[in-house]
Amino acid sequence: MFINEESNVEKILILGAGQLGMQVIKNMTSRVSPDTVNVLVEPGFTTSPDKYKQEVTDELGRLGVEILSFDLSEGTEASLAELFAGFHTVICCTGFVAGAGTQMKITHAVLAAGVNRYFPWQFGVDYDIVGKESGQPVFDEQYEVRNLLRSQEATEWVIVSTGMFTSFLFEPGFGVVDLEANTVRALGSWDTRVTVTTPEDIGRLTTEIYLEVPRIANEVVFVAGDTLSYGQLATVMEEVTGRPVKRVELPLEELKNQLSFSPDDVMLRYRTAFALGAGMWWEKSKTYNHEKGIETVDVKAWLYRHLRDKRADDYFGSLV
């Protein structure tokens, strides 16, 4: 049975059907009438031979979600605003795949369309603390998005600060955890902390925040799956794998020096930004999910599940 009858007459548009977008869609359609939920995808998404896109298209069909297409890279702000005008709430789950400036374009279009309520793509760190000149240009854009939203009163906004995706902490390209070599690299120092949350938890919590009564408006809401230092991360690795972990510290000055030689290295920019520490974490005890008693997946639980699934994949793969 659906709850929050008011939301059933509010048309919702979710931008993106990727890792996070699908989690928001699944949770939203389980709580409000699916025929009020719409998703925006890139042109050609539903006819693509890509396996993931085919599976998502089939799942969206089963969920009863209407699929719209729009090219966020090439489309104009005016045409995007025209599309947004038919919706009460817009939830942006596109990330930065459409390129620099896209989040500002989307936000300008939301405001021009007179959308009642907007959840921007701010599913990341505390950009108020990070500010500008962090060494990561996309962080600068996120800071500008916040300033733009706060400069007006016509559209309500809700920012869900989640920290890093938990899986990104273990992404080989990010260079913090090397599971194959059982190595952990500390960004800044071993005491530097980071907040992480899984997309599954973000989708669930975003839906809860959307449905919250009284209505949450013009507020930054903090959530967290886990907050830990890189030293604690190394300890968790040892506990889960049962093996000693090689620890490598990457001081901030060293990362800045590397960045001066490779300013276009996206992952190096991320490592340097997270080595700053400030704005990259918050206490889990002060989050929305803690206040509401909603359980979330911490790093240890995620790692146990990941290694279990990997062992299963390796086993079944060997039978093929």
Q: Is residue 100 part of a domain?
A: yes
**Which pLDDT belongs to residue 311?**
61
Distance of alpha carbon 160 from alpha carbon 220, whole angstroms: 6
| pLDDT tens, position by position, 237-269 | 999 999 999 999 999 999 999 999 999 998 999
Q: Is residue 219 part of a domain?
A: yes
Distance of alpha carbon 195 from alpha carbon 288, whole angstroms: 14
**Which pLDDT belongs to residue 133?**
73
**Which pLDDT belongs to residue 314?**
53
Question: In whole numbers, what is the pLDDT of the chain averaged over residues?
Answer: 92
pTM above 0.85, yes or no: yes
Give the 3-state secondary structure percentages of the chain, helix then strand then coil, rounded to 5: 50, 15, 35
- How far is residue 138 from each of residues 84, 127, 270, measured CA to CA in Å? 24, 10, 10
The CATH number linked to 220 is 3.40.50.720
- With pLDDT > 70 as the criterion, what percentage of the chain qualifies? 93
How many structural domains are present in the chain? 1
Q: Is residue 121 part of a domain?
A: yes
| pLDDT tens, position by position, 143-187 | 999 999 999 999 999 999 999 999 999 999 999 999 999 999 999
Q: Is residue 134 part of a domain?
A: yes
| pLDDT tens, position by position, 271-320 | 999 999 999 999 999 999 999 999 999 999 999 999 987 664 553 343 33
Sequence-distant (6+) residues with CB within 8 A of 242 are none
Residue range of the domain that includes 109: 5-164+196-224+280-297
Bridge partners, residue 228, by sequence: 194
